[in-house]
Amino acid sequence: IAGITQAPTSQILAAGRRMTLRCTQDMRHNAMYWYRQDLGLGLRLIHYSNTAGTTGKGEVPDGYSVSRANTDDFPLTLASAVPSQTSVYFCASSDSYREGTGELFFGEGSRLTVL
Amino acid sequence: GQNIDQPTEMTATEGAIVQINCTYQTSGFNGLFWYQQHAGEAPTFLSYNVLDGLEEKGRFSSFLSRSKGYSYLLLKELQMKDSASYLCAVTDSNYQLIWGAGTKLIIKP
């Protein structure tokens, strides 16, 4: 089934540890995004990539990094996790070049708890 | 600042009609999206409005008034499976999405 896959689905992590959330899509979409979703808040954009080889910062990029070596993969790395990064993380993709111009397809989410 | 307002929670009865409102204040406007998100799952696309008026898609309709900064999502013939959160998102002048916190809809038999 075509779509977007995230791993892990859930993780408990000690503060200070490094963590990479994986995201893979098989829809050949150009644009990919990482959001975090916290209770009572709207989705917030962490980083984005409009096409392979390029990345950009979203609304809340501090403490996170991304790479886009190819069209399909867009991993999100927390270099040194802190408790405030406890959240549900969603990867999304779109065949539009800009965030707000096309339907977003979301992965199932990665629930991260930092202790 | 930019802001999207939606009610936090609404309750409706199976078989009835419910209207979920969304008001926005953003720097420019280039479209408005509605997404559905069941608990513990990913958001899924419902509708997109860029011009004023009503867009109908089966049991779901979405309305937009750009002059009033207002949209609503209308759900008819409610089913238990419609229990979910409904997310409103607006594309601003920089083509960035501004998301509302979502409205949790509870359907009762």
Which pLDDT tens digit goes with each residue over A18-37? 999 999 999 999 999 999 99
Q: Convert the pLDDT of each residue in B28-65 to its tens digit.
A: 999 999 999 999 999 999 999 999 999 999 999 999 99
Half-sphere exposure at residue A55, Cβ-oriented, CA atoms within 13 angstroms: 19
Contact state of B42 with A44 under an 8 Å Cβ cutoff: no
- The rounded distance, in Å, linking the Cα atoms of B97 and B73 is 18
- pLDDT, chain B, mean: 96
What torsion do the CA atoms of A87, B1, B63, A99 make, to the nearest 10 degrees? -60
Interface residue of B36, B99, B103 to substitute, partner A, most A CBs within 10 Å: B99
- The rounded distance, in Å, linking the Cα atoms of B25 and B47 is 20
DSSP A107: -
Q: Tell me what pLDDT residue A1 has.
A: 61
The distance of B108 to chain A (nearest Cα, Å) reads 23
Q: Order the strands of the A4-7 sheet from edge to edge.
A: A4-7, A19-25, A76-78, A64-66
The pLDDT > 70 percentage for chain A reads 98
Average pLDDT over residues B14-36: 96
The pLDDT > 90 percentage for chain A reads 90
Q: Structure tokens of B34?
A: 């509605």
What region, left, alpha or beta, does residue A40 occupy, with left being phi > 0 and alpha being psi -120 to 50 degrees?
Answer: left
The distance of A86 to chain B (nearest Cα, Å) reads 15
Q: Which residue of B has its CA nearest to A105?
A: B44
Average pLDDT over residues A7-20: 97
Say if B56 is an interface residue toward chain A (CB within 8 Å).
no
Q: Tell me what pLDDT residue A102 has.
A: 84
Q: Under DSSP, is residue B49 helix (H, G, I), strand (E, B) or coil?
A: strand
Average pLDDT over residues B11-27: 97
Q: Compare B102 and B95 and report the one with higher pLDDT.
A: B102
Q: Convert the pLDDT of each residue in A38-52 to its tens digit.
A: 998 989 999 999 999
- pLDDT, chain A, mean: 94
Q: Tell me what pLDDT residue A96 has.
A: 83
Tally C-beta pairs within 8 A across A and B: 55
The distance of B79 to chain A (nearest Cα, Å) reads 23
Average pLDDT over residues A76-96: 96
| Partner-chain residue, chosen from A43, A90, A100, that has the shortest CB–CB distance to B95 | A100
Contact state of A106 with B92 under an 8 Å Cβ cutoff: no
Say if A104 is an interface residue toward chain B (CB within 8 Å).
yes
> Which secondary structure element, helix H or strand E, spans residue A94, and what is its range?
strand A87-94
Average pLDDT over residues A55-78: 97
Q: Tell me what pLDDT residue B83 has.
A: 98
Q: In b/e form, how buried is each residue of A16-46, taking b as 16+ CB within 10 angstroms? A: eeebebebbbeeebbbbbbbbbeeeebbbbb
A110 exposed, middle or buried (CB, 10 Å; 0-12, 13-18, 19+)? buried
Contact state of A99 with B95 under an 8 Å Cβ cutoff: yes
